[in-house]
Structure 1
Amino acid sequence: MSEEIQNMNMQEFEEPQQAKTPKRDINFILDVPLEMTVVIGKTKILIQELLQLGQGSVIALDKLAGEPMEVFVNNKLIGRGEVVVVNEKFGIRVTDIISPADRVHQLR
């Protein structure tokens, strides 16, 4: 059995060109609904205390009056704000948006 051996011609690689950054077209997601929640405070109570709650009961929360409220979008903290009244309804005036680095850290 006879085998023929040949030299292989290698092509030289060219320098890769910088990839062009595509423009971000986010128009297709602009109408995706998100759930926004504003937390005014939290507390822990015993089942016995829960069963004793009735109309007029007052539940003390962990936040102080005037303290910023936490603003969540889809259960992820995005910022803080203060409570305002808009046309006889509660609203939130955003006073702080968390940094992109902190938002990424939450995802872990």
Structure 2
Amino acid sequence: METNEPNDGHAGNPFTQVPIEITISVGRARPLVRELLRLKRDAVLPLDRRVDDPVELYVGDKLIARGELTELEGDATGQLAVRLTEVADLRDGL
């Protein structure tokens, strides 16, 4: 049987079809507990990163890549996406 997918050595492995969740970290906030308790709707919580800083992609607690936030175009205009700039070597566990 022919496919248009590249042969990556995992043909026939059913686990390659299982979706996983990737968490995108855009930054961290470190408010004091008293500041956290005062948060209300429309409050602004400053993060430790700037808008144009790279974001980090995690599967569980494993950093797998870094990238830049971008906006999709066409029918998906307004939807956020990530353009990858660095990818970990996941095959060798590095």
Runs of 4 or more consecutive aligned structure 1 residues displaced over 3 Å after TM superposition: 23-26
Unmatched tracts of structure 2, length 5 or more: 1-8
Matched residue, 1:95: 85
The TM-score, its normalising length taken from structure 2, stands at 0.73
1:70–1:80 Cα contact (<8 Å) kept: yes
**1:104 corresponds to 2:93:** yes
1:34–1:74 Cα contact (<8 Å) kept: no
**1:59 corresponds to 2:59:** no
Aligned residues: 82
**1:80 corresponds to 2:66:** yes
Map 1:2-81 → 2, pairs under 5 A: 24-25=10-11, 27-81=13-67
Partner Cα separation in structure 1 for residue 11 and residue 66 of structure 2: 28
* Identical-pair percentage: 30
Cα deviation 1:30-50 (Å, max 9, x = unaligned) = 122211111110021222111
Cα deviation 1:60-81 (Å, max 9, x = unaligned) = 1111221110011233110101
The TM-score, its normalising length taken from structure 1, stands at 0.64
C-alpha deviation, 1:27, in angstroms: 2.7
Question: CA RMSD of the aligned region, Å?
Answer: 2.2
Partner Cα separation in structure 1 for residue 49 and residue 12 of structure 2: 37
2:68–2:85 Cα contact (<8 Å) kept: yes
